[in-house]
Chains A and B, each alone.
Chain A
């Protein structure tokens, strides 16, 4: 008998979740995503200032969570989901930076394109109509602008702690840093935002 030919199927009990368990897990994940998706969209939108891009990022985070972490305990899903989402936001900013460089290079070499400003030419930052802007309110607009001016880590810490309500440990897991770093970033973010918005908010 050839040693290499010794391949045969063995029928062993599969350790897959039963149909009932799989359905329960799907129900839990659906409930989790439904509960977090709207806040996640707004957080991503503040991060990238573009609703369509934010929707893509949230969808990507949902899919990645389902693929890779659905079997993890449900109480770990929130920090894991936001970790994926924030990684997506960071990658998006890196891609934008490269794109701006490329566009600037071509802009200088093209006739009449030297004055092209991609920021000025871009659509409304959040993809909203003027009516939406009015609805959202001036306070939120000011807050978004102020948050947008924060360093990325401070912005993440502030939004996760304040908007999503994660505790320090959960925020640290979502940001992939120590709890001490979270406290520092968060404290600095609040201080800066209060300085900028204080006269309007207090």
Chain B
């Protein structure tokens, strides 16, 4: 900041006068300042300790919260809802009870045609 020489002289003199008044502070004021400083430094220890105590519980609380969340999620876990067609009993009988189910699976296309063509479709076969 560029100041004029007059302004600089003025501020320098103001500083000197101010510093002089600082040097003339009485003993009572200095004593009170000293007590205030000690009190502030005592607060520094208290604040630091309190802050430290609080910080000490942060990881423990975090881990506990994570475990609690995981437990809740596991307890409420369900298999995904998948839309399923109703299964008829005859389907299982066809696959499991019949002895030649594998042959039937190989001729699945034929049986599908047979089903669509109706009861007379197979009369000419074989």
Name A residues whose Cβ lies closer than 8 Å to a Cβ of B. 1, 3-4, 6-10, 12, 14-17, 22, 25-26, 29-30, 33-34, 37-39, 41-42, 51, 55, 58-59, 62-63, 65-67, 70, 132, 135-137, 139-140, 143, 161-163, 165, 168, 183, 186, 190, 193-194, 197-198, 201-202
- Which one, B1, B14, B56, contacts A143 given CB within 8 A? B14
Closest to A11 in B: B60
**Residue among B29, B32, B40, B48 with most chain A CB within 10 A:** B40
Q: A1-B71, A10-B60, A137-B20 are in contact. Are A29 and B25 (CB under 8 A)?
A: no
* B60 and A190 contact, CB distance less than 8 A: no
Q: Which residues from B are CB-within-8-Å of A51?
A: 29
Count of interface residues, chain B, beta-carbon cutoff 8 Å: 45
Rounded to whole Å, the gap between the CB of A6 and the closest CB of chain B is 4
**Residue among B15, B21, B33, B45 with most chain A CB within 10 A:** B21
* A30 and B41 contact, CB distance less than 8 A: yes
Closest to A131 in B: B26
Interface class of chain A by DSSP: helix
Between A and B, 22 residue pairs with Cβ closer than 8 Å are A6-B64, A10-B59, A14-B52, A16-B48, A16-B52, A16-B55, A22-B45, A38-B22, A39-B18, A41-B33, A42-B22, A42-B25, A55-B32, A59-B32, A62-B39, A65-B40, A66-B47, A67-B44, A140-B18, A165-B15, A190-B10, A197-B10
Q: A42-B21, A55-B29, A67-B44 are in contact. Are A9 and B37 (CB under 8 A)?
A: no
Rounded to whole Å, the gap between the CB of A175 and the closest CB of chain B is 15
Q: Which of B53-101 contact A (CB under 8 A)?
A: 55-56, 59-61, 63-64, 67-68, 71-72, 75
- Which one, A7, A8, A26, contacts B44 given CB within 8 A? A26
Q: Which residues from A are CB-within-8-Å of B20?
A: 137, 140
- Cα distance A25–B41 when bound, in Å? 10
- Which one, A8, A58, A135, A194, contacts B6 given CB within 8 A? A194
Q: Which of B1-49 contact A (CB under 8 A)?
A: 1, 3, 6-7, 9-11, 13-15, 17-18, 20-22, 24-26, 29-30, 32-33, 36-37, 39-41, 43-45, 47-48
Q: Which residues from A are CB-within-8-Å of B71?
A: 1, 3, 6
Q: Which residues from B are CB-within-8-Å of A10?
A: 59-60, 63
* B40 and A15 contact, CB distance less than 8 A: no
Q: Which residues from A are CB-within-8-Å of B36?
A: 37, 55, 58-59, 62-63
Q: Which residues from B are CB-within-8-Å of A168?
A: 1
Closest to B49 in A: A16
